[in-house]
Amino acid sequence: MTHAIDTHVTNDVAIAAGALLDGDVVAFPTETVWGLGALATDPLAIAKIYAAKGRPNDNPLIVHVASMDAALALFTRWPSRDHAETILRSFAPGPITVIIPRPAHLPAEVSAGLPTVGLRIPSHGVAQALLQAVGLPVAAPSANASGRPSPTTRDGVLASLNGKIPLILDGPRGELGLESTVVDCTGATPTLLRAGAVSVESLRRVAPTIKLLADAEAQARSPGTRHRHYAPTCRVHLATSDTRSLPEGATYETSAYIGLTAPSAVESYRLHRICNSVEHYAHELFEFMRLADNAKVELLVCERVPVAGIGRALMDRLHRAARGGSSPSP
Ligand code: AMP
Ligand code: MG
């Protein structure tokens, strides 16, 4: 039987860095979603991430470092290394993850046994301060129980992991609200594995050959995308702005609505959130899902957005939430 542990919250970066260096897990904010960190060089610490999240052991972690120098220290020599370096130099620190060959000093556990590893430099001030204080790479998936939407607030972390992790480093909510863009840079052509806050349009400007995959192929290459993800407990229904009526059998009293344009009956929903831009919608989505679940909503109606800019990542998450697992086409 496992016993619940006390989850403490601190604002002290030195305490959080000390806990990581002692081999504990610590949740911390980033500009995308909250991460659950552990020393990337310590297999026992990494195992605690999988245990706390209930994460399937074939789902690799992303390694976080503070600076370009620290990132380049993890680069080995491989033919397409220039792509990874160019993409990082263009968008990091920020919401971009490059997949590179795993260097010998990072244990296989960090990437679920794969010969590759995800690498990211977050820009959030608290994440930066923590990584600088630790001075070693920190593996960090999103700080949620596996399969649930990523948390974008401290309360979202507590809702999922209270009693399962010893420490949360508190800090302001990140500006983005969806996970990083993941680009595989191990082969000849950079390949998008997960849409995110760095748009395909901006990636094309620095990596014109970037390849998009059909979902089945992306799932084969990015284990995490195979699993149920981003789904609240309630049912999710996607609606276009001209057909935003409730599906048959649903009632306003047990439904919630999020989108850019208000349907005529918006006040009748138990909860509703009208966002002023696609960026704002992306920022609010995961927290709204959590509030909808808290309010015991049965159905969440989400307005569709055009698949462009961060709208691509937003639609990817909405499709996964609605289908409980996969996104349609690239
Ligand atoms: P999370 O940190 O929970 O947002 O999940 C990390 C995402 O990055 C998952 O979708 C993983 O499949 C993907 N990922 C991390 N490392 C690798 C890797 N070495 N190869 C392919 N995909 C990866
Ligand atoms: Mg995750």
**Residues with CB in 5 Å of ion ligand 2:** 141-142
- Of the pLDDT bands very low, low, confident and very high (cuts 50, 70, 90), residue 2 is low
pTM of the entire predicted model:
0.95
Question: Which of 61, 100, 148 best tests ligand 1's pocket when mutated (most atoms within 8 Å of CB)?
Answer: 61
Question: Which of 99, 114, 119, 148 best tests ligand 1's pocket when mutated (most atoms within 8 Å of CB)?
Answer: 99
Our separate counts of H helices and E strands in the chain read: 10, 15
Would strands 116-120 and 62-64 be described as parallel, antiparallel, or unpaired? parallel
Residue 143 amino acid letter: A
Whole-number Å distance between alpha carbons of 318 and 166: 32
* Mean pLDDT of all residues belonging to the chain: 93
Mean pLDDT, residues 176-197: 96
Provide the sign of the torsion angle of the four alpha carbons 304, 308, 310, 315, taken in this order.
positive
Looking at the predicted structure, is the pLDDT value of residue 21 above 80?
Answer: yes
Phi, psi angle pair for 291, to nearest 5°: -65, -35
pLDDT in tens, 251-307: 999 999 999 999 888 999 999 999 999 999 999 999 999 999 999 999 999 999 999
Helix axes 13-21, 125-134, angle to 10 degrees: 50
Whole-number Å distance between alpha carbons of 130 and 124: 10
Sheet bearing 271-274, strands edge to edge: 235-239, 299-303, 255-259, 271-274
- Domains for the chain: give ranges and CATH numbers: 8-226 (3.90.870.10), 235-322 (3.40.50.11030)
Q: Which residue has the tokens 């229904």?
A: 237
Phi, psi angle pair for 224, to nearest 5°: -60, -30
SS percent in the chain: helix, strand, coil, step 5 = 35, 20, 50
Phi, psi angle pair for 168, to nearest 5°: -120, 125
Residue 54 amino acid letter: G
Proximal ligand: closest to the CA of 108: 1
- Of the pLDDT bands very low, low, confident and very high (cuts 50, 70, 90), residue 248 is confident
